[in-house]
Amino acid sequence: MIAIADSGSTKTDWRVITSNGQISQATCGGINPYQHDYETILSELKSVVQQIGEQVNEVYFYGAGCSTEENTDKVRQAISESFHAAYIEVNHDLLAAARSLCGEEEGIACIIGTGVNSCLFDGKQIVDNVNALGYIIADEGSGAYLGKRLIADYFRRNMPDNISNKMDKRFALTKTEVLSHVYHQGAGSKYLASFSKFIFQNIKEPYMYRLVYEAFGEFFERNILKYENHKNYKVHFTGSVAFYYSDILRQVANDKGVVVRNIIESPIAGLTLFHQKKLQA
């Protein structure tokens, strides 16, 4: 029995494939070694064990933040404590996106969810990556970035009155509350990204549409357009923000002269197929 995990900063999707090919699923909170301490990661994994049991022979974990040896070891050790006898592989979530979106073809694979990332994939491995740098420094187009822009405009009186009034009624925000969530309570990106739902619910407002359009434009300019010969590749997207704002994303791509192919909410289905084929090989 093998377990496959695709983890972002907000949630982790799990699929379990038994020896006879049956597939089951489980979920837990996000596991990002940059944002979550060891005990938090163990706690999330404990909830997965309660859902699927410990009798797992192999674990293939793809996660946000698993791009350095230190972070990879941190996650691997936590998984080892949770699934004692399992063979374990820990990879970056970019590889999950690339395998799921591109299959065995070359292309540019992008993640736009709570955070963002992108890579150039040659059909087998990642050959180039523009540094994402996280929500505090960059993450243009992400859910956290959209929330950050919205909140900044709200407090700086840089939005239409009707939007400001809706935010007053919906959130009753104070500067102290926002700064505490972002800088002191942890999971600041998740808090900021939570405002994306409000943006989506009001996307017909010209201000909201422009906010998302401009954020995606920055993502293209500072990520996709940095790949050499980017117009020669098909570009694919995964992540909740890319999926729910796909119409705007495709419009921005068209305006930038970029060909977009797949836009999916989560790469877990493609990853499951990838590992199924490995089992059958």
pLDDT digits (tens, 9 = 90+) for 246-275: 999 999 999 999 999 999 998 998 889 888
One-letter amino acid for residue 259 of the chain: V
Domains and CATH numbers, the chain: 2-96+268-280 (3.30.420.40)
* Among 93, 80, 128, residue whose Cα is nearest residue 229: 128
What is the rounded average pLDDT of the residues 160-171?
A: 97
Query: Strand locations in 33-97, DSSP E?
Result: 58-63, 87-92
Confidence bin at 280 (pLDDT 50/70/90): low
DSSP 239-252: SHHHHHTHHHHHHH
118 pLDDT higher than 70: yes
d(CA 35, CA 95): 20
pLDDT digits (tens, 9 = 90+) for 199-235: 999 999 999 999 999 999 999 999 999 999 999 999 9
pLDDT digits (tens, 9 = 90+) for 57-90: 999 999 988 989 999 999 999 999 999 889 999 9
